[in-house]
Structure 1
């Protein structure tokens, strides 16, 4: 969602719902049981863009000018190649029907007012109808839901699991549930619009006041449209999605959406039952049982019905947008219901406040949260020369009890592309970041489509700007299109460097999903080497991972200019834990397997002579 970064920066000020005093709960510091035996790798695709073969890329271009991808572009071959990259789950971003500027009235869909839509293609986080899918994505919009159901089947046939978005905090300003199942009423249908707040109202209102379009908005870049008249009919006005209580929100507010009411009163107090003390240690089944005789706000019931609707269709999990803007008691209620239906459901939440991580995992029953403000931000600072590698160890130590639940990524639809000048500056400089992000913890790894072939998002899409692949426009993704090769999905148009980059990702991700050590213990060896090892500097980072018979030594060089040679020290406590006797052991790099190094153990300490090139990384496996 546009301006999300502005929101995150001011989260403590703008988020009314941080009134939950969750730090009063005592959290267990013991490392939680790892629920999976192998790594998970999520491949995020922006569904509208994935299959688009058009290379026109006109700013503010229409579908006819710039093209659009379809569900059917995810052919068995495409899905096979995604799986072969080393992927276990695919996140189809932008599937639910959201507001957009295109005439689908022939299919019973009302036209959206450009004054409350961002871009031409619209934000996927301004959902218009939760019980159907984006008509842009269908070859035949009349059969759009069937086409998505066929994609679910193809995805499963390819051996992949799939997740889609649910955005409980806000919905489109013009929500119209025209496909509601029997017994499901539309959002706001029974609201008392004469009051600011009522427990079972779906929205917050500004009584007796009309909504006004923000100043400074230029819908469709000034293009004429019959609905652009300086007016949007909403009376009374509703609170805006990011919590603004103004009838005329600011241009930087999420003005295309309205805030959903979860039973948090305007003063921040809760109008629903709270979880008893000790529920941070309870199972999802115990959470589910707790809610069975409780009266909860109507919005809770509506979103649980939405989640269970898609679960019944075979969706394997969800990515929850801006989850921390919704109370964790609701997540306990909904996520436990999802897990009762599918105990293996993959539940990922966008949460940016580290003080709330444990609450959303243990009380909200989330499986995974974004590790954005700690690991991601640190890696970005390192490669941009704003920080050394030393802080990575502190982050791992601070999150040791929840590290499995903190999903790692370097690219997604909200962030600057890894290869962009605003981030790493080149795909090659991103390689050591990707190795560390993938192997430093037991958490899932996420890759954004095009990342593996060096997409830098250089295009001026219109509403969206360069460095981020636009989520608001019809646009092509050039590096990805070269891999797509007109629908052959064979990389036939990639340059040699792009082919080599994708091969690097393929080797790394496939190793990660097969490695037992990456689901085991972690210990950094950076500190001791930085202190004692000649030739080892602050742009290097090293650690060990092990479980059962597999033992790994990871070394990454964040410098894009300097080759380092040094004697890497493996401290005595690790040698002892690995039960290594004095002698010589072969360690073989698992990224390319193009040579080996000798680890020499003497007097209970290990030394390995390392020569590492700029932006190079090694994942050495001990051979015994």
Structure 2
């Protein structure tokens, strides 16, 4: 039934698109001269060579990667993949089960920790880093500082997480700078809410751990004196996802506490509102707006945290669940960040398309996840029941903010492409990856192991396979074959994995050097669907151009079918390109194995296209 509904929807799209409202993006010249590529790496997993992979295995049994595993050789290989920014996921010190009391760190309670290694989004100390990641936990900040410096030395920027919506239930800053008080240290716990309280309280109550479900037991049922279904918290606090129950549900974010940003329980905002005119004002204007305003204490705490890490050498942040925090706070925080470092890279997790423009324009975010629009559309196409017709429609809806919508096919929250629950074959992502990386001026992100077809098949403990675990100690087999016992040379990869990584390397390196990909865009898909024989909804075509570069991009999403057709470039494209009648040589930019000609006659262009299953071509025009 879903298949037929989607086909019907796609027919409607065709009718709407037939109105000839073509999309044209003006060249983006103000932000950057090349695209950014972000490599997200789960830091504790990257350098782990242990292959035991025991469910709920301890750090000793299953191993863990370290900051020092990111050697100069490893970082150069990542950069050579075509990467400009590396997002080290899971760096801030979060709640975990390993015992570090010898280093002055309190033990965490398994009843409020997910997995054995812990969720990176239950931060326990914002002014330090995960002790698991250090060879010497007493020098963990120094080891991370060295990693930041190594990353910079090979020419990449560093991004880390900030999780503004919630903190670990047992937040405990052991290395706070002078004058910095912990979250909640000065709260009035006798009231549910006060503007300068950092948390929301349930006065007169005691926190109770959830009722475990679906056979789940902390640590997989292993006997542990702290796994006793008890955690002392009096009075109980609201849970990270907003639950106001003293005993949150098993599916709530029970390991975290929600942070109060000055919004009362009835939704009233106890802070100044930004005037509508500030949608179009720069970060300096936003900074000036807030500098003489009274703001909630939590705002200042997170500002101090962000500035601390900028001073440390970090180049940007990925903000977890940003839409759960008021947009006014982001105006305040991000303008302060940009005053410190105008080039800071600010990426936010926002899933509600109705909020995109507010968080970009008022919240001063650089980039948001393009999940609900582009990712979900491409995923449907890859799985076989979506039509390529939907992609130009999505791009038109995003036209005014397309530069700010970061594209991806994998991250730590999403299923691995090669997992059976997604498509089960990493090659099926090739056309999707070409489109994701070349459709707009926005950055592209890949998740470590994606480039070698990692399927996320391991049962690590908390949670189930299809996503590489972020909660437990585990090895990542395909990625480990590329690591090759820390030689980082791909020495154990299969031929298929080598070919896949080579594809990613060719594509990403082209995107960060192409001038046209920071220029104009126009879809030619519907024009060809209406006028070209043998062209259908499994193919997508569009053109990109700048003053000095003109590209014709065509992708075949079908895993079984060859396509041969005469691609047509409409008169308005040929006119914008100032091409006279005649023949023009085409260079295929990915593999340089296809020769082509663009023939212009009577102001219209044609290109003979032959595509193998899952093949894409990126033709540049030689004039």
Same fold judged by TM-score > 0.5?
A: yes
Q: Cα deviations across residues 448-494 of structure 1 (Å, max 9, x unaligned)? A: 00000111111111113111000001001111000000000000000
Q: Which residue of 2 aligns with 1:358?
A: 357
Q: Which residue of 1 aligns with 2:240?
A: 241
Q: Which residue of 1 aligns with 2:533?
A: 534
Q: Which residue of 2 aligns with 1:303?
A: 302
Q: Which residue of 1 aligns with 2:102?
A: 106
Matched residue SS, 1:285: helix
- Within 1, Cα distance between the matches of 2:233 and 2:26? 51
- Within 2, Cα distance between the matches of 1:344 and 1:184? 27
| Matched-pair contact (CA < 8 Å) for 1:76–1:154 | yes
Q: Which residue of 2 aligns with 1:92?
A: 88
Matched residue SS, 2:484: helix
Aligned with residue 173 of structure 1, among 169, 183, 193 = 169
- Within 1, Cα distance between the matches of 2:236 and 2:68? 40
Q: Does the alignment pair 1:283 with 2:282?
A: yes
Query: How far 1:33 moved relative to its partner?
Result: 6.3
- Within 1, Cα distance between the matches of 2:236 and 2:545? 57
Structure 1 residue ranges, 4+ long, deviating more than 3 angstroms after superposition: 29-34
Q: Which residue of 2 aligns with 1:81?
A: 77
Q: Does the alignment pair 1:130 with 2:126?
A: yes
Query: How far 1:421 moved relative to its partner?
Result: 1.7
| Matched-pair contact (CA < 8 Å) for 2:27–2:546 | no
Query: How far 1:30 moved relative to its partner?
Result: 9.4
Q: Which residue of 2 aligns with 1:403?
A: 402
Matched residue SS, 1:131: strand
| Matched-pair contact (CA < 8 Å) for 1:165–1:318 | yes
Q: Cα deviations across residues 137-168 of structure 1 (Å, max 9, x unaligned)? A: 00000000100001010000010001000000
Q: Which residue of 1 aligns with 2:269?
A: 270
- Within 1, Cα distance between the matches of 2:456 and 2:218? 23
| Matched-pair contact (CA < 8 Å) for 2:28–2:519 | no
- Please give the TM-score of this superposition, normalised by the length of structure 1: 0.95
Alignment map for 1:196-595 (pairs within 5 Å): 196-216=192-212, 218-595=217-594
Q: What do you get for the CA RMSD once the two structures are aligned?
A: 1.1
Q: 1:32 to 1:134 in 2, by over 3 A?
A: same
Matched residue SS, 2:180: coil
Q: Does the alignment pair 1:598 with 2:597?
A: yes
Q: Cα deviations across residues 210-261 of structure 1 (Å, max 9, x unaligned)? A: 0111111511111011111111000000000000001111000000000000
The count of residues paired between Structure 1 and Structure 2 equals 596
Unmatched tracts of structure 1, length 5 or more: 1-28
Q: Which residue of 2 aligns with 1:192?
A: 188
Matched residue SS, 1:620: strand
- Within 1, Cα distance between the matches of 2:420 and 2:617? 25
Matched residue SS, 2:600: strand
Q: 1:89 to 1:469 in 2, by over 3 A?
A: same
Matched residue SS, 1:235: coil
Query: How far 1:31 moved relative to its partner?
Result: 9.0
Q: Which residue of 2 aligns with 1:159?
A: 155
| Matched-pair contact (CA < 8 Å) for 1:584–1:600 | yes
Matched residue SS, 1:365: coil
Q: Which moved more, 1:581-590 or 1:347-356?
A: 581-590
| Matched-pair contact (CA < 8 Å) for 1:31–1:402 | no
- Within 2, Cα distance between the matches of 1:585 and 1:321? 48
Unmatched tracts of structure 2, length 5 or more: 1-24
| Matched-pair contact (CA < 8 Å) for 1:464–1:471 | no
Query: How far 1:585 moved relative to its partner?
Result: 0.9
Q: Cα deviations across residues 289-314 of structure 1 (Å, max 9, x unaligned)? A: 11111000000000000000000011
| Matched-pair contact (CA < 8 Å) for 1:32–1:401 | no
| Matched-pair contact (CA < 8 Å) for 1:524–1:543 | yes
| Matched-pair contact (CA < 8 Å) for 2:440–2:521 | yes
Q: Which residue of 1 aligns with 2:67?
A: 71
| Matched-pair contact (CA < 8 Å) for 2:586–2:596 | yes
Q: Which moved more, 1:591-600 or 1:31-40?
A: 31-40
| Matched-pair contact (CA < 8 Å) for 1:274–1:329 | yes
Q: Which moved more, 1:368-377 or 1:217-226?
A: 217-226
Q: Cα deviations across residues 320-377 of structure 1 (Å, max 9, x unaligned)? A: 0000000010011111011011010000000001001010001001000000000000
Query: How far 1:277 moved relative to its partner?
Result: 2.6
| Matched-pair contact (CA < 8 Å) for 2:27–2:520 | no
| Matched-pair contact (CA < 8 Å) for 2:83–2:156 | yes
- Within 1, Cα distance between the matches of 2:203 and 2:132? 36
- Within 2, Cα distance between the matches of 1:460 and 1:591? 37
Query: How far 1:595 moved relative to its partner?
Result: 2.4
